[in-house]
Chain A
């Protein structure tokens, strides 16, 4: 397998699940159930995209709400995951995430690009969650002194113990399963490219160096991987409750 050959040349281990091969041959969901504990480094996805995020913010600041919508699509699940460490109930998390985005939208004129957008958003999210818990007279389930820097790299071991509603739990599992099955059945070079990008958070240039191919090839492989996975994902989402805005 391509990726394991490349790994031999690099004197470090990818800090994914202890059994590296397992990540790329078994679905993530299965692994979770087997080992019960998943140590996964969430790649700093947002760092490379700071400029794009800021462009979208500026478009929104000039009145384009669709641009804000693109930021919502990008960060809604990430923010939800962050806040799930403070709030257990899925329905409550959704309310807080909703309120956080609305607050962020209203506060957009104050955003000047001094920090990354997601940092600013996450701060709003955490403050909203804290206020929610205080007003509900509750203490958060985990310490609320979450450093924003950790938000990039925190461990997700607790996430699946969130009290999902049965529907969302099932949907989460289905989506994860579909995506992971699709990743696993990708041709080697596509799977490697998209994994290095989405899991390891490497830039195209870094991936090009690992895979020893031009950056344009990396870009094309990641795109083709995504399109292949999207093909399998879309039928799952194409039901009335998933109608797009």
Chain B
């Protein structure tokens, strides 16, 4: 990973999803992490900061390593919806996976912005029913539409539903630039 990105991250000059991606890359790259350390040290030295004994950092990180790993309940990745369920992030990911296994095929991947929201509510609703820890989950009341599996409803208002198989066939023969990475719709499992 380019150290120039690390330099910009250290100055907070990368934002949003790009920042998320770049940080993830940085943390998996030893050279990038070293660059981060060096740049922080340089800035502190320029401002006349007292140095800490270098064994200090090693000692501290060793102590952190030995601490039980904290997991915050609401620390969900950007693309998933968070709920107020009292469970750990690890358990929640696992629960989401179980839910996706049970959804009718047409819901497996969102087909539009509105549908992303729709899928989110379906997940939440399922979570209410399936989540076995017995904890109560606060979810705002919103009707989940029980959709005909061959149709896709893209907005709460009644719009004519178009079967996803046409979109899938279109993408098989004439893939759009983005359809390789984000599947707009998946109807057969």
Interface string of B17-60 (1 = CB under 8 A from A): 00110011011000001111111111111111111111111111
Check A52/B9 contact, CB under 8 A, given A80-B52, A244-B58: yes
Tally of A interface residues using CB under 8 Å: 87
Secondary structure of the A contact surface, majority rule: helix
Interface string of B73-90 (1 = CB under 8 A from A): 111010000000000011
Report the minimum CB–CB distance from B93 to chain A (whole Å).
9
Taking CB atoms and an 8 Å cut-off, the chain A residues in 196-237 that contact chain B are 197-199, 203-204, 219-220, 222-223, 226-227, 229-230, 233-234, 237
Q: Are A78 and B54 in contact (CB under 8 A)?
A: no
What residues on B are CB-neighbors of A243 within 8 Å?
58
Measured CA separation A165–B3 after assembly (Å): 34
Measured CA separation A35–B39 after assembly (Å): 28
Check A45/B43 contact, CB under 8 A, given A102-B67, A220-B4: yes
B136 within 8 A of A: no
Q: Which residue in A38, A56, A106 is a CB contact (below 8 Å) of B48?
A: A38
Interface pick from A3-11, A64-72, A121-129, A142-150: A64-72
Q: Which residue in A67, A81, A198 is a CB contact (below 8 Å) of B23?
A: A67
Q: Are B37 and A73 in contact (CB under 8 A)?
A: yes
A84 within 8 A of B: yes
What residues on A are CB-neighbors of B65 within 8 Å?
65
Measured CA separation A175–B77 after assembly (Å): 39
Q: Are A229 and B51 in contact (CB under 8 A)?
A: no
Q: Are B11 and A197 in contact (CB under 8 A)?
A: yes
Q: Which residue in A45, A55, A172, A222 is a CB contact (below 8 Å) of B50?
A: A172
B161 within 8 A of A: no
What residues on A are CB-neighbors of B62 within 8 Å?
245
Secondary structure of the B contact surface, majority rule: helix
Q: Which residue of B lies closest to A205 (CB)?
A: B13
Check A226/B50 contact, CB under 8 A, given A66-B33, A68-B64: no
Q: Are B67 and A62 in contact (CB under 8 A)?
A: no
Measured CA separation A84–B41 after assembly (Å): 18
Q: Are B49 and A179 in contact (CB under 8 A)?
A: no
B69 within 8 A of A: yes
Q: Are B44 and A77 in contact (CB under 8 A)?
A: yes
Q: Which residue in A70, A76, A105, A175 is a CB contact (below 8 Å) of B36?
A: A70
A159 within 8 A of B: yes
What residues on B are CB-neighbors of A109 within 8 Å?
70-73
Measured CA separation A78–B39 after assembly (Å): 14
B12 within 8 A of A: yes
Check A226/B20 contact, CB under 8 A, given A50-B12, A245-B61: no
What residues on A are CB-neighbors of B9 within 8 Å?
52
Give the interface centre of B8, B44, B69 by most chain A CB atoms within 10 Å.
Answer: B44
Give the interface centre of A70, A78, A111, A112 by most chain B CB atoms within 10 Å.
Answer: A70
Residues of A in contact with B (beta carbons under 8 Å apart): 28, 32, 38, 40, 42-43, 45, 48-52, 55-56, 58-70, 72-74, 76-78, 80-81, 84, 90, 94, 97-98, 101-102, 105-106, 108-109, 111-112, 156, 159-160, 162, 164-165, 167-168, 171-172, 175-176, 178-180, 183, 194-195, 197-199, 203-204, 219-220, 222-223, 226-227, 229-230, 233-234, 237, 241-245
Residues of B in contact with A (beta carbons under 8 Å apart): 3-4, 7-15, 19-20, 23-24, 26-27, 33-65, 67, 69-75, 77, 89-90
